[in-house]
Amino acid sequence: MHPIVRNILAVIAGIVAGGTINMLIIYYSSSVIPPPEGVDVTTTEGLKGGMHLFAPKHFLMPFLAHALGTLVGAYIAALLAATHKMKFAIAIGFVFLLGGIGAVYMLPAPLWYNVTDLVLAYIPMAWLGGRLALRK
């Protein structure tokens, strides 16, 4: 397979894999840490309306979803890429970071969470995923 085609497919696979992990964790998160009473976490409007009721523990699963989704996506992209493996891992981190920035504008989460999420969940996890893939 041509290296450019392989690299494009690696990025697509990384985005799909990371997005899948992210969504699975978010989907099952309310089973692990139930949301506050009366908050509908299935819609953006419900989250906006109930975000003020969230305790710090309610932000653990979204952070893990973002961090692990990015880690897995970057790992897959770096593992499958033909060349420039670490660059593609970091690119996955930037793609997911853009999603995180979008979430900051859509949801009124506390500043401490937004900063923690944007600083620690994306680029550092992408770097770690790339490093783990390079060990193979």
pLDDT number for residue 43: 86
Is the pLDDT assigned to residue 136 strictly greater than 80?
A: no
pLDDT by residue (tens digit) across 6-33?
A: 999 999 999 999 999 999 999 999 999 9
Q: How far is CA 38 from CA 32, 42, 110, in A?
A: 17, 12, 20
pLDDT number for residue 11: 98
pLDDT by residue (tens digit) across 64-120?
A: 999 999 999 999 999 999 999 999 999 999 999 999 999 999 999 999 999 999 999
Q: Identify the H or E element spanning 57.
A: none
SS3 content of the chain, % helix, strand, coil (to 5): 80, 0, 20
Q: How far is CA 3 from CA 8, 30, 65, 77, 80, in A?
A: 9, 42, 31, 13, 10
Is the pLDDT assigned to residue 131 strictly greater than 90?
A: yes
pLDDT number for residue 97: 98
Q: Identify the H or E element spanning 67.
A: helix 60-80
